[in-house]
Amino acid sequence: MNPKIAAFLCTHAPATPCLVLDVDTVEQNYRRLLGAMPLARVYYAVKANPAAPILDRLVSLGSSFDAASFEEIEACLAAGAAPDRISYGNTVKKESAIKAAFEAGVTMFAFDSEPELRKLARSAPGARVYCRILVENKGAEWPLSRKFGCEAKMAVELMKKAAEWGLDPYGISFHVGSQQTRTDAYQAAIGQVAMIFSDLRDAGVTLRMVNLGGGYPVRYRAEVPGIDDFGAAIMGAMAEHFGNALPEIVIEPGRFMVGDAGVVESEVVLVSRKGEDDPVRWVYLDIGRFGGLAETEGEAIRYAFRTPHDGGEEGPVTIAGPTCDSTDTLYEKSNYRLPLALESGDRVQLLSTGAYVTTYASQAFNGFRPLAEHYI
Ligand SMILES: Cc1ncc(COP(=O)(O)O)c(C=O)c1O
């Protein structure tokens, strides 16, 4: 575990459940990404963790930002980000939010449909727009399915319309799904984008930017390819498809930037069995699906645990949250095993929980307070 976080937990014994996040690790991750993809511009996906200390640090490092809402844009501006370093990356926006963003100086917007493009033409005239396309999400542990993006053929037509309607047809984006474990997912998507660039060039529209989205994974229980492997695969595919005419490259990492920077500390509320001979113990924690661990839905993201009894004899467990809702069961099928010595009152840590946890926590489901946060 991160020694700075371990020392904080030991010295302060903060009330649980809480997230402790080391902002220096975020800075290291930002630098590692730039090392792996030196030609890319990083737009941090604010949704992964919008805490002010993270945004402040990234502004000081010269990062740009991918915002999902006007509220996230406001958070970036409050941290000192220049509006031309913010991309409004959600393809589903209220027109009032587009207008507010444009008035605040934001000039870069995503879309994936004609009605959204119309809104942009009306409320953000002349803005740089990029069209998100649908791509394969195979290999992603938290896939984004078909909710966002359009088919390549439609993207070509929409980009022509963008030019006709007085917008700046800037580029194409995709997202290969979050916690993407396969480097070839990006390679296939880059091939699709290159064909769109070429079709549009033939039609007299020259795009300038490829947005590779997020997806870069964090190590939870299983090993994943390193960021250098993703960088090599991506830059290889860009060179193969674009040769010397490389467009601007944008990446929107969320999970990779903050995931391994954070640790959730939780208290074991109860360890019990459903029958005397039942080998499986139920371990109830003071954090669950509604306390921020939303990505345990379908046991998709499988966090690693640390306990005070690590190294001792282990047995199978089902791990659940504290609320009176049966869906607040985290892991039943993923073969989790925890030490037999684990008991009520023990403090356990869930590793690499810096991304997509704090903002998923409910206000007060069953009366429980939202997750406390400490940035160190
Ligand atoms: C548009 C967009 N960009 C970037 C991200 C960040 O993805 P990740 O956390 O997998 O890097 C997301 C996540 O949902 C997204 O929707």
CA 86 to centroid of ligand 1, rounded, Å: 14
Average pLDDT, the chain: 97
- Is the beta carbon of 142 within 6 A of some atom in ligand 1? no
Spatial separation of the C-alpha atoms in residues 351 and 223, rounded to whole Å: 14
Please report the pLDDT score of residue 304 as a whole number: 98
Residue whose CA lies nearest to ligand 1 atom number 11: 214
Cα 198 vs. chain centroid, distance in angstroms? 30
Which atom from ligand 1 is nearest to the alpha carbon of 110? 1
CA 189 to centroid of ligand 1, rounded, Å: 15
Which atom from ligand 1 is nearest to the alpha carbon of 257? 11
Question: Once rounded to an integer, what is the mean pLDDT over residues 314-341?
Answer: 97
- Is the beta carbon of 88 within 6 A of some atom in ligand 1? no
Please report the pLDDT score of residue 338 as a whole number: 98
Q: Which residues are catalytic?
A: 324
Percent share of the chain, pLDDT over 90 = 97
CA 68 to centroid of ligand 1, rounded, Å: 9
Please report the pLDDT score of residue 145 as a whole number: 73
Please report the pLDDT score of residue 1 as a whole number: 86
- Is the beta carbon of 175 within 6 A of some atom in ligand 1? yes
Cα 171 vs. chain centroid, distance in angstroms? 21
What is the fold, at CATH topology level, of the domain defined by 50-253? TIM Barrel (3.20.20)
CA 255 to centroid of ligand 1, rounded, Å: 8
How sure is the predictor about 116, in pLDDT bands with cuts at 50, 70 and 90? very high
Residue whose CA lies nearest to ligand 1 atom number 1: 89
Instruction: Please write the tens of the pLDDT for every residue from 58-72.
Output: 999 999 999 999 999
Instruction: Please write the tens of the pLDDT for every residue from 170-213.
Output: 999 999 999 999 999 999 999 999 999 999 999 999 999 999 99
Q: So where are the chain's domains?
A: 50-253, 260-375
Please report the pLDDT score of residue 144 as a whole number: 83
**pTM (predicted TM-score):** 0.97
Residue whose CA lies nearest to ligand 1 atom number 7: 214
Residue whose CA lies nearest to ligand 1 atom number 14: 178
What is the fold, at CATH topology level, of the domain defined by 260-375? Lyase, Ornithine Decarboxylase; Chain A, domain 1 (2.40.37)
Question: Once rounded to an integer, what is the mean pLDDT over residues 153-166?
Answer: 98
Question: Cβ of 16: how many Cβ atoms within 10 Å?
Answer: 18
